[in-house]
Amino acid sequence: MLKVRGISTYYGNIEALHAVSLDIAEGEIITLIGANGAGKTTTLMSICGLTPPRSGDIEFHGQSVVGMKPDRIVQMGLVQVPEGRRIFPNMTVLENLELGAYLRRDRQGVRQDLDYVMDLFPILAERRTQMGGTLSGGEQQMLAISRALMAKPKLLLLDEPSLGLAPLVIKQIFEIIRKINQEQEVTVFLVEQNANQALKLAHRGYVMENGRIRFNDTADRLLNNDLVREAYLGL
């Protein structure tokens, strides 16, 4: 579904990604783990077209998306949930959700998806007229995921959905990610610092260090890899 081939991405003269390659097949949950500053967010932003790579290629369903406008990439079904949620605090829950669907023309489909996300997160239904900024951190993350679902993703890219949330809320969010993957057949690319939880959820994982992919393997094998256990799982 997604082929990332040797991308190098720069901030000015600084090369943040060095020939990064990864593959995601339809139906998978893939996680990208690594320390602070390893280049995880930059990888995700490169895929979304927000910080395009200077070299290498990114193919989605066989079509190169490098140089394509971010809204066109969203229309193709590649949708991100940004780090720090970035919901609109002065708009209601419902308005935030409607904004997620702004590129869609299938009004009936949008209504169905609105019902689906309200079922998925009943708390959002309860708070539909409340301003986004009044929600708790966990609820804002639910809203950010739901807003992305309103864009009808084929591949959902999540940037550190667990950031700053309590363990119980993280568990709830990760269970919902699994449900979205299974019920909606949405493929998931999960960027996480919480390596332990992410590898328990994912089918396969990539480990990033200093802008390079260091390991890639099944999630089970990464969970049992001594180097990964020591460096990322604190074991």
**In the complex, which residues of this chain contact ligand ATP (CB under 6 A)?**
11, 14, 16, 34, 36-42, 193
Please state the closest distance from residue 4 (CB atom) to ligand ATP, in A: 14
Residues linked to residue 9 through DSSP beta bridges, in sequence order: 17
Please state the closest distance from residue 159 (CB atom) to ligand ATP, in A: 7
Q: What does the block give as tokens for 224? A: 């049992």
Please state the closest distance from residue 14 (CB atom) to ligand ATP, in A: 6
For residue 104, the number of C-alpha atoms closer than 13 Å in the C-beta half-sphere is: 22
Please state the closest distance from residue 101 (CB atom) to ligand ATP, in A: 28
Q: In whole angstroms, what separates CA 6 from the centre of its chain?
A: 20
- DSSP class per residue in 18-32: EEEEEEE-TT-EEEE
Query: Between 99 and 163, whose beta carbon lies closer to ligand ATP?
Result: 163
Please state the closest distance from residue 192 (CB atom) to ligand ATP, in A: 9
Cα angle vertex 50, ends 52, 181, to 5°?
105
Say if CB 45 and CB 90 are below 8 A apart: no
Query: Between 35 and 131, whose beta carbon lies closer to ligand ATP?
Result: 35
Query: Between 39 and 52, whose beta carbon lies closer to ligand ATP?
Result: 39
What is residue 85's DSSP assignment? -
What is residue 133's DSSP assignment? G
Query: Between 12 and 62, whose beta carbon lies closer to ligand ATP?
Result: 12
Question: Amino acid letter at 232?
Answer: Y
Please state the closest distance from residue 53 (CB atom) to ligand ATP, in A: 13
Q: Which helix (H) or strand (E) covers residue 227, if one does?
A: helix 226-232
Query: Between 9 and 187, whose beta carbon lies closer to ligand ATP?
Result: 9
Q: What does the block give as tokens for 80? A: 């991100």
Query: Between 36 and 63, whose beta carbon lies closer to ligand ATP?
Result: 36
